[in-house]
Structure formats: C-alpha cells, structure tokens
Amino acid sequence: MLQQGHREWLTEVNVLGVVVHPNLVKLVGYCSEDTEKGMQLFLVYEYMPNGSLKDHLSTRSQTPLSWSMRLKVAQDAACGLAYLHEEMDSEIIFRDFKSSNILLDAQWNAKLSDFGVARIGPQEGRTHISTMFQGTVLYAAPEYIESGYLSSKSDVWSYGVFLYELITGRRPLDKNLPQGEQKLLEWVGRYTHSKSLHHIIDPRLEGTCSLKSVQALVNIANLCLQKHPRSRPKMSEVLGLVNALIGALSQTTSPVRPSVQMIEVNCKEIVTMDEKNQEYTRHEGERVSIDIQLIETSIVPPISQSKPSKPVKSLIRKKWCCVS
C-alpha cells in the first residue's frame, strides 16, 4: 500500500487505470478513508516479492544481481519507458524514473511503479512543457532542474543515470564515499575509456562480465546523458541498442555475425572523422545512423568530454561520433 498526497494519488490512479504493459506495475485497487488524522489515501499494487531494484544494488544486499540479470532489468525498464513515451495515444513523461521505482516480480521481471508525478507530454508541435520541478534531483536532467523544461528526453537522462547504477552498484550520491567519489556521474566520467573501465565496475561482478559488454552499456548511458535534450536518443532507440547488446552476448559463441541493423539517433552536432588524415569535420542538425551490432566494441566520448580530443573508434557508420 502507498500513502501520498491527493494530487499524486489521483494522478497515479488515472495513469495506471489506462496503461497495460508487462513492464508497468498493475494497480489492484485504491481507496480513501476518513480518520482522526484526516483523509488517508491508499493504492494497492500487484505483489512484487523481490522488492525494488535499489534494494538489490545496495552493498547490504545478500543477493546481488548478476550481469545478465542487470541487462534484463535495463531491457525491461527501457520497454516500459518506450511504451509510455511512444505507444500510447498521449505521451506520458514518467518524471521520477529511478532504481527505487523499479520493482521486481517473482520471476525477476522489472516493472515501473509510482506514477504520482507523471505528466502528459507536450502538445503536437511543441518540444517541452514548462513546469515546476518535481521528482528526484539526482536523476533529473539539467534543463529540467535549471529551467523547468520537461520532455520525454528528461526520462532518457534519468535512464542514463540508472545504467551507471547498474554498472557500478553505486547510488547517484553517496556521502559515505571519499570526496572525489561521492557524485556518481562525476566519478565515472574519469574512467569511461576502455583502459580504465575496470575501475567503475561493481566489485561484486568481478570475473562475471566482459569489458566489451560493460563498455557497450557505458556507450548507451553516455548517449542518454548528452547535455542537449535533442541530442539524446528516443527510448525506442535506446531499447534497440540494449536489445542488440543482449543479442550480441547470446551469440558470442556463434562464428556467424548477424546481419547489420541500423537505427537513427538525433544529434545536435556530429563529427565525422577522416581516418586517413586524422581530421574531424563538425556538422549540425543531422541524424546519425548507428550500426547497433558494432556497439559491443565501440567507444563514444564520455559524458565529461564535450568533443573528441583524439581519434576514437566510433560505433557510428562512416566513423561518426555523437557530441553534445
């Protein structure tokens, strides 16, 4: 049962009353009761025996999730967000996507929960909603915190933060860590190159996951964490990349490479690299086609880097790489 303010309670009833998806928690019932303390509002979800993802990422957890399980959770969460953003009659912005709002059922399927601050997306022809901030600051996109600009790309940013939680096993902010390691995004930004990647991997995963697959998930996270909202991919595009990563891992023993699949990602700016002359050319306002089968061995600029300072091995066709 969940007790919360009337507005959030009503929003959640309205949202969960119309959405039906295997990666969104089911609303079993709701009620209100007038007590000595005032009106008490309740929601009853379907029973999720394995609790929240946050519990299992905690260092106190006795059942840390395996790498394959973390990828499955990333896939399920992306499915849920893509449904809210792109598969309903009206776009719904979750607005409070975080690990504690991802619940796990008896089969360890992940489902999004707590839609109390969800919002209908902008009207056709508009890019965002201007609104007061609600949600969790540590997961919120910079344009939403600073200017109140809310769009589905705000959820995409939150998803990028969540991916780094999966990789590191750390919270977005942990004041129990040394000063330089307390803020997750600042800390991982120093180590997202392949040669340093082992520094950020959850120690409980040691020896159970390949650096290539971790680098691939880092690449996806960095695409989600582009500074400019228009540079971030849509959740359906993110889901395509996560599906490709999981598919590539399941086919690592096969000598036959699957056929190339391409998706497109919006970028405010892109850079093409002439590999022979080691020269870069900057382009603006174009869409980039990404070979999702190359993501396993590719590197994109880390979130702390605004433009490439040296040649990089790009996941993008014709050696193109996204920059913010």
Q: How far apart are CA 96 and CA 98, in angstroms?
A: 6
Indicate which residue of 76, 89, 96, 274 is catalytic. 96
274 is catalytic: no
Structure tokens of 206? 């040691």
Contact 192, 302 (CB under 8 A): yes
Structure tokens of 258? 């699957």
Distance from the Cα of residue 89 to its chain's centroid: 23
Element holding 161 (H helix, E strand): helix 152-168
Alpha helices in 64-190 (DSSP H): 67-86, 142-147, 152-168, 184-188
Distance from the Cα of residue 246 to its chain's centroid: 15
Look-up: residue for tokens 């950020």? Answer: 200
Q: How far apart are CA 141 and CA 155, in angstroms?
A: 8
Which residues have a catalytic role annotated?
96
